[in-house]
Amino acid sequence: MSYDLIVIGSGPGGYVCAIRAAQLGLKTAIVEKRKTHGGACLNIGCIPSKALLYASEVYEEVAHGLGKLGVTVGKPKLDLPAMMKHKDDTVGANVQGVGFLLKKNKVDAFFGTGSIPAAGKVEVAAEDGSRQVLDTKTIVIATGSDVAQLPGVTIDEKIVVSSTGALELSKVPGKLIVVGAGVIGLELGSVWRRLGAEVTVVEFLDRILPGLDLDTCKQFQRLLEKQGVKFQLGSKVSKVEANGKGAKVTVEPAAGGDATVLDADVVLIAIGRRPYTENLGLEALGVATERGQIVIDSHFATNVPGIYAIGDVVRGPMLAHKAEDEGMAVAEILAGQHGHVNYEVIPGVVYTSPEIACVGATEEDLKAKGIAYKVGKFPFTANGRARAANHTDGFVKILADATTDRVLGVHILGHGAGEMIAEAAVLMEFGGSSEDLARTCHAHPTMSEAVKEAALAVEKRAIHM
């Protein structure tokens, strides 16, 4: 069998690439080593974590939030197996959906580990030991990423867990220690705190969520602390000793000094992810990598003709929608079109309560580049809909170029921030200004009026503040 394109890996990057290529008339196959399609995102990442985040938020709201609205209910009871079933059913429906879409678009799906014996060939090693070699004009590597390990610490996925184990715990840990105040640590730390765990987050740096707008993160940290999450910033975990029932975690100041030992029932290691390229045969082919990432040019091409790469396995943020957009773009390029990804406008969302959502530059980025900017900020305490729904925590912050007024970055801390950020992304994609946003009619009463007010605030003319 000979193909125009074989995609290795069926995560958001790979399956979107395969479907788009098939839509454009390329004879396409996809190879996946898991038993289901959808990659880390659908199986052990975005989707299961959001199912647990939503369910645990509802649990907490019923436990603590409804009385203020005049709704009195009894103490809620946690049915963890049912909550896990909701998560598993959500995953099941999504991964089946991807299988259906691949079939509908006539993409041939092969299950097994893919490797590249030579450019133009993909070998598929199935679980039953059988092997077949497929011929293809082009190959897109979309093999994603894996958990970054803490040196000297063994992840057993029971007591010392990665995000994968943290999505599967069979009971609520009494004490959860989270190593790393990044996106996974704060999202999954939030899930288990809401369900009753005492959560301590140990972070190497002196701030949470490195890379996001600092002022927004400081406010966010205060809100998380109010919710009961404890932080030990500027600290590193140097040892984790697991015994059958729990673990002793040795924590040292990052700058040096005396260590302390914390007791934990479960330790979540969430210190990042690394590109996954094992068993592909890249070294023998001479495909260039840098710090584990496959090196590509602006058209997603590696240094070996006919081999391309996208998603978590290449440079850029490790986000599902970034992988998807790269998948679309490379498929279009391979079909002779002009696929393109605008890396300046990739939104990011942390799905905690409240959410943090951002797109574009932070104040720190602009200062580092010496770009003069104006700031417009509007708090949700001054938004009618937010008050009506008891969602007054947080704000919208808009950064606009001091000379041209072009919007360079938008940062939202608040309920539903992940939905609100989309209008900022569209505005920025079209090179819009804060004036454009301020002149756009926003429905009343909506949380998104705070986005318009923040745009008005750029020129100090917000109405409701």
H or E segment and range at residue 220: helix 214-227
* Residue 389 CB contacts under 8 Å (≥ 6 apart), including other chains: 415
Q: Is 350 in the site for ligand NAI (CB under 6 A)?
A: yes
Q: Residues 288-327: x/- map of binding to ligand FAD (CB under 6 A)? A: -----------------------xx-----xxxx-x----
Question: Per the annotation, does 50 bind a ligand?
Answer: yes
> 259 to 278, contacts with ligand FAD by CB under 6 A?
276
Exposed e or buried b for every residue in 248-271, given b needs 16+ CB within 10 A? ebebbeeeeeeeeebebbbbbbbb
Site size with ligand FAD, rule: CB under 6 A:
36
> 221 to 240, contacts with ligand NAI by CB under 6 A?
236-237
Q: Is 47 in the site for ligand NAI (CB under 6 A)?
A: no
297, exposed or middle or buried, with CB in 10 Å at 0-12, 13-18, 19+?
A: exposed
Residue 176 or 437: the one with the smaller Cβ distance to ligand FAD is 176
Whether the CA torsion 351, 352, 355, 356 is positive or negative: it is negative
- Determine which residue in the list 12, 173, 185, 394 makes contact with ligand FAD, applying CB under 6 A: 12
The amino acid sitting at 333 is: I
Q: Is the backbone peptide bond immediately before 354 cis, with ω within 30 degrees of 0?
A: yes
> 158 to 217, contacts with ligand NAI by CB under 6 A?
179-185, 187, 202-205, 210
Q: Is 376 in the site for ligand FAD (CB under 6 A)?
A: no
> 134 to 153, contacts with ligand NAI by CB under 6 A?
150
> Cα separation of 384 and 283, whole Å?
59
Q: Are residues 165 and 157 in contact, defined by beta-carbon separation less than 8 angstroms?
A: yes
- Determine which residue in the list 27, 34, 374, 406 makes contact with ligand FAD, applying CB under 6 A: 34
Question: Per the annotation, does 185 bind a ligand?
Answer: yes
Q: Is 44 in the site for ligand NAI (CB under 6 A)?
A: no
Q: Is 431 in the site for ligand NAI (CB under 6 A)?
A: no
Q: Are residues 405 and 376 in contact, defined by beta-carbon separation less than 8 angstroms?
A: no
Terminal Cα-to-Cα distance of the chain (whole angstroms): 66
Residue 14 or 360: the one with the smaller Cβ distance to ligand FAD is 14
DSSP letter for each residue of 319-382: -HHHHHHHHHHHHHHHTTS-----TT---EEE-SSSEEEEEE--HHHHHHHT--EEEEEEEGGG
> 301 to 320, contacts with ligand NAI by CB under 6 A?
317-319
DSSP letter for each residue of 186-208: HHHHHHHHHTT-EEEEE-SSSSS
Closest by Cα among 316, 169, 320, 186 to 246: 169
CB of 453 to ligand FAD, least distance (A): 28
Task: Please list the active-site residues.
Answer: 444
| From the list ligand NAI, ligand FAD, none, partner contacted by residue 276 (C-beta under 5 to 8 A by kind) | ligand FAD
Residue 147 or 396: the one with the smaller Cβ distance to ligand NAI is 147
> Cα separation of 102 and 93, whole Å?
14
Residue 378 tokens, joined:
């509007």
Q: Which stretch binds ligand FAD (CB under 6 A): 5-13, 127-135, 228-236, 290-298?
A: 5-13
CB of 211 to ligand NAI, least distance (A): 8
Question: Per the annotation, does 359 bind a ligand?
Answer: no
Which residue intervals of 30-176 are DSSP H helices?
39-44, 46-60, 80-104, 163-166
- Determine which residue in the list 300, 351, 380, 395 makes contact with ligand NAI, applying CB under 6 A: 351
Task: List residues binding ligand NAI (CB under 6 A).
Answer: 150, 179-185, 187, 202-205, 210, 236-237, 270-273, 317-319, 348-351
Contacts to ligand FAD by CB under 6 A: 8-14, 31-34, 39-41, 45-46, 49, 113-114, 142-145, 163, 184, 276, 279-280, 311-312, 318-321, 323, 351
Annotated binding site for NAD(+): 180-187, 203, 272
